[in-house]
Amino acid sequence: MSCRAGSERDLIEELASRRQRIDAWSPEPGLVVAPSVPRNGAGRVVVCFARQIFRVRTIVGVSEELLFGKVAKAATRDVSDDRPCAISCWTLDSPEGNRHARVATALERHVRAELPKLKEPHELRYTDGILLSALVLDRTRVIVGSVKAADALSLAPGGRARMKSPEGAPARSARKLEEAFQWLGHAPEAGEICVDLGAAPGGWTKVLLERRARVIAVDPGKLTPEIANDRRVRCFRGSAFNFEPEEPVDWLFCDMVWRPLEVAELLAKWGRRRWAQSLVANIKLPMKQKVAILARVDQTLEQGGWTDIRMRQLYHDRDEVTVTATRAG
């Protein structure tokens, strides 16, 4: 499993705390090795602090001159005639890993030339395809493996989904929401009503407007004038903890710099009172006990009536995780 450099301990602790109690270790910054992955009752892979997962087929460790050919040969072992296959060559998200980005690019070009039937990773979305991974550790070592597209945490190389903000978005937080929608697999449709808690200066509201949704923006601060003056936006200048919608809405969004358990209680209130159908929120992480706090957040949301609760530290998240859920019934 790959993760953000510095999050190895959090990922290892998370795996150990799961019902399956998976033992794991970190041989390199940004990399965690485990004998299996945690799954929920529906068979879905559930892991928060990992960027990408794949089953290791082999570790190619040869001279630089032989490396590309050996990797291409190793990759053919997982190529299927019955399923679409794609390959992703990538490096770890660490200072050392980033030094070898050019090697990964050249390697992918070589493997595609050797295996012309391979598709682009994004073409595997919603298929039963196989994503081949070639993780470049350095100029003489590559880990080769594969994962079913349905189990892949991301189709971006190593889970590093570099999103673009809509033109005119006033904050980089817009990228977080764009990535959340990509991970979730759906987003608000035209005309749907969204509440954006902690909206200022308007990064998430801008993303929602790009999808032609209607937005109730809640924040003590001001949105940028261009966004605030959009006819599809209603502004509520005040605390998110005091706001109550006049009627149920389609989506609840929340990106507030606030204590995680208090935010969880607020989101649970929305679930209990059936004020929203779908939820997307950023939960800010404490310095310590991240895994324990997230377990309490999950429990609080479940007690509030939210279902299908999912948590991931996405690429554009920093000291936070993205949470999605739907309301039961």
Just list the catalytic residues.
Answer: 284
The answer to whether 276 and 195 are in contact (CB under 8 A) is yes
Domain boundary among 124, 159, 194: 159
Domain extent, residue 105, equals: 51-159
Total domain count, the chain: 2
Phi, psi of 134 (to 5 degrees): -125, 100
Count of CB atoms situated within 10 Å of the CB of 168: 13
What does the pLDDT profile of the chain (329 residues) look like in tens digits?
999 999 999 999 999 998 879 999 999 999 999 999 999 888 899 999 999 999 999 999 999 899 999 999 999 988 988 899 999 999 999 999 999 999 999 999 999 999 999 999 999 987 889 999 999 999 999 999 999 999 999 999 999 999 998 888 888 899 999 999 999 999 999 999 999 999 999 999 999 999 999 999 999 999 999 999 999 999 999 999 999 999 999 999 999 999 999 999 999 999 999 999 999 999 999 989 999 999 999 999 999 999 999 999 999 999 999 999 998 66
Domain shared by 184 and 92, yes or no: no
> How far is residue 121's CA from residue 154's CA, in Å, rounded to a whole number?
9
> How far is residue 60's CA from residue 215's CA, in Å, rounded to a whole number?
51
Domain boundary among 98, 126, 159: 159
Domain shared by 132 and 252, yes or no: no
Domain shared by 57 and 182, yes or no: no
> How far is residue 127's CA from residue 136's CA, in Å, rounded to a whole number?
26
Q: What is the pTM of this model?
A: 0.93
Q: Residue 260: which of 200, 323, 196 has the closest Cα?
A: 323
Q: Check which CATH number belongs to the domain holding 79 and give it.
A: 3.30.2300
Domain shared by 192 and 289, yes or no: yes
Residues in the chain: 329
